[in-house]
Structure 1
Amino acid sequence: MQRRRFLLALAGLAAVPASATEFAPVLPGRRLAFPADHGAHPDFRTEWWYATGWLKLPDGSPLGFQVTFFRVRTGLGEGNPSAFAPRQLILAHAAIADPHLGRLRHDERSARVGPGHADFDTGTTRVWLGDWRFELGPKGYHARIQGADFAYQLDLQPDGPPLLQGQAGFSRKAANPRHASYYYSRPQLRVSGQLTLDGTTRPVTGQAWLDHEWSSELMPEGAQGWDWIGLNLDDGSGLMAFRLRDAAGKALWSAATIRPAGQIGQVLPPEAVHFTPLRQWHSPRSGIDWPVVWGVQVGGRHFELQPLIDDQELDSRRSTGAIYWEGAVRALEDGREVGRGYLEMTGYGKRIRVG
């Protein structure tokens, strides 16, 4: 869907008419090329590097984590030669799903691209905002976050090449191919590093999923929000699935890709993907009812998704202007846990606003 980052309403900056700026189009047939496409694509309207996963403390206790960096071309100041003109913004979200606390610890930042504020590279993954960083090195990705009540430094090591979503990286979000993004994932990332909670730093290990996606299109007409999952299954495979839905909860477009261990990803048609909400959780802060337990059918497989904790609501109105649910989930098949990953839901309060 422009899956996640239709979130980028930009708190007013998206009020600049899209027609005033010529954003680069997403077109079928463009082949993603690496390592160049690990880097930023500043001619496009929005872009994000999005890592989510499960961590394990030395005593075996589980936690979830999220780190997201957004790059946004605002359409403002493009004729201004000043290095401080707000042509590009970087926004970032970070979170820890902490069962002992019973909710997310989370933080957010935003800044224009410029000296001393934030920046990105176009030849590789390297994006930073103040002392927050996400970058790709010879051995994998590295995330460094210092939040208000948590901090982490994590290394994320890929197990293989990028998983191209959709048609060789051209990921449609509607029947009209105009609504599309360039999109690839890195499932089954092996995680190690350090996590600081309540002033105590401990080593952690785990498993993660990375998405990198960029586009220039807004949400299709009639779309209220979306539901998305990225699952690392215990047999070594990776599964991504999403649906874009209307205000009544009806699917407008669905898609899925599964990559068996050591094999090429298999793209499934929209009719092979079904999301069914099974249980809701009512947020005492936003008043939103979030479906936190799901039945998901992908091809011939049926999964039940169970949250690590119900309260994984993230209020990002200070940066992206949205409230969304981003949470660690267990995947069960025939009552047995077969994998873990993350579930994202948007549009259950207000329709995602994008301009």
Structure 2
Amino acid sequence: MIAIGLEGSANKIGVGIMAHEGPDGADVRVLANVRRTYITPPGQGFLPKDTARHHREQVIPLIAEAMAVAKLSWRDIDCICFTKGPGMGAPLMAVAVAARTLSLIHQIPLVAVNHCVGHIEMGRQITGAQNPVVLYVSGGNTQVIAYEQQRYRIFGETIDIAVGNCLDRFARIIGVSNDPSPGYNIEQLAKSKPDPVLVDLPYTVKGMDISCSGVLSAVQEIAASPRFKGDKRKPHVKPELDAADLCFSLQETLFSMLVEISERAMAHIGANEVLIVGGVGCNKRLQDMMAAMSLQRGGKVFATDERFCIDNGLMIAQAGMLAFREGIQTQIPDTWITQRYRTDAVHVLWRN
């Protein structure tokens, strides 16, 4: 069985094609995984209408490229999977319309997929993690998740902005480039200095939840103060701080909060595995901090590289195929999108 997946919940549009082979579909092959990113100038974010325009321009060429890479015709495709949510409304709708059109033209069943579940199932497939605590951390979402009774239960999450959004907004404040992504460039700045200054920032953990807006406000205030880049008129203000110091401090604070709530979830359910998914999950410093915690507990951390942790169509194809094999399909009248589609709202029929 072969599925094509369309993802476009934020500034990336991706098309992935995946084959499930064997009597139980356990033999999984990646046939294509192509992606384009809408990149704005430094200091600017991406607006929904502009992002949707980008996706509309790119979706047809990307689909054609994926089909060419996979060397398939539409007769070979068993189901078309698309992101239903969560995400930005206009970009989501652009991709949903493309999936709906393909389904009508080629008479192929549709499967609507939860973006967060797509990340989880892709991570499980690539890493082989069995029943881990999942840290899902991206530009729009920050959640600690564990599976129980055919649901991905949310143990903790951000109560305001996501960690990825916090990093992106700080990148705009200090004028960091958006190419290839603000978070990646912050990571490079954070490790560019051999002995960076660790600035004291608010550490806000509330039970199993975290808050990032206070951290962002504090580091933004420091970036606007005489300490940042030095001020010759006030030589008594020490130490002087640069972008590397602030990026390092922001990462250390946010990631420490994530490690704490992940460890608490592991202790609560008795898990010895943690799986990091989502775009921020590519960050090596986050992976190293989580690995150190897991090692102390006698456990193990799982993570993927940028091909699979950053938004991609392949993860939508994977989750959609798992649902399709259980008989789940989405009828054309139900192909609307849901910007606030909760992870724990999905009935995970393919796990028991």
Which gives a bigger RCO, structure 1 or 2 (Cα 8 Å, sep 6+)?
A: 2
**Larger C-alpha radius of gyration, 1 or 2?**
2
- Kindly indicate which of the two structures has a greater share of residues assigned to strand: 1
Q: TM-score, normalised by structure 1?
A: 0.28
